[in-house]
Chains A and B, each alone.
Chain A
Amino acid sequence: MAALKIKKGSSSHSAYDLRDSHSQIESSHTLAVIVDNEAGVLARVIGLFSGRGYNIDSLTVAEVDHKGHKSRITVVTRGTESVIDQIKAQLGRIVPVHEVKDLTVEGSPVERELALIKVSGTGDKRIEALRLAEIFRANVVDSTLESFVFEITGTPEKIDAFADLMRPLGLAEVARTGVAALSRGV
């Protein structure tokens, strides 16, 4: 029988991109899920991930449209291409979910995370922490004679790097918001 005359990558008629085979390589995807801000909606999304065994690397949520009561959930997840497709389709099935955007597929998105990092110490270590904070453009938002709280924004990698540097200098506590992301351009 003749081969199918469907363009690879065409998805006009389907829920999925067509492709040769399902690759087994896992990759990280940042998804933006637009939902009605109603009771239990976050539990539905999280329950879907735990119930079906998907990964959540990061999750943030807040109402972004107060008039329309819409929230944006940003999830960073990992999986093979077919698992990512399943995650998107399963999210799309949740009744209060309006839209599922795969920001990773749309192009590398702008991703930012905010962290508060407490470092305690005195003497040289304290001075070194302050110097590094400047390089990373972290702000001091609280200070005592034995401690600082730094506020830092950036990609998750930048925050990891900063936290790693603070460890020998007296890293005491870290609080992170998780990733907020938008696609680039219009």
Chain B
Amino acid sequence: MKYAMLIDQTKCIGCGACTVECKGKYEASFGVLRTRMIRYESGSYPHVKAAFRKQACMHCKVAACEEICPVKAIYRVEGENGGMVVVDKETCIGCGTCASACPFGVPQVDPGDKKMEKCSFCAHRVVNGSSTYCAEACPVGAIAFGEREALLAQGEERVKALKSAGRSKAALYGKDDTGVLLVIDGDPESLGLVKEGFTLSAAGWEAISSYGGLAVAAALGGLGYRLICDRLEEVKKEKE
């Protein structure tokens, strides 16, 4: 992905400006949000720290949701400015498999149209060289949008500055794995994030797939699999 977002959680005040700005621009049912704020705490009173995390699609380099979607509804936007992970709502059958696979708990099935809803990285704007709505809205500049290379440098710079100010746990999250980069101050777990290096390579996915039917039962159980098939049938009928 040529473009990235650098979200600096050490600047985020958890106000929700990004959430409302995004929500107002994309149609989805009440309460289905493409991005939301979560407040995390670590320690116990009075030695407590709190921080916010903007929880939205991370646009993983190898995306679990894309790999696992049984109907290939999740795909990459093509082109020079593309690379973001998006959902083809016409193909999506709303089975929610992606939701259970995502390491960030991002995809949601909208109860209205029964389609998966998640952050698209404002793909339709970004392919034309525009920024994302949330980056343009954040009042304190916690969300930077730009070319990945530049943002990587900016992120490292920021981490260096934080460290020299005594915040030894400052880190840049997502360098190798995700399209969205995060500046965090603490272990990834303290912000509800999986450890870095979580992303399986494409080869890894191949390997898992080759285990064949054995894994199916373990993964979703026969029931889960039947649900996918049933829903697919339903969708086909609806279309006819």
Chain B associates with chain A: no
Residues of chain A having any CB pair with chain B under 8 Å? none
Residues of chain B having any CB pair with chain A under 8 Å? none
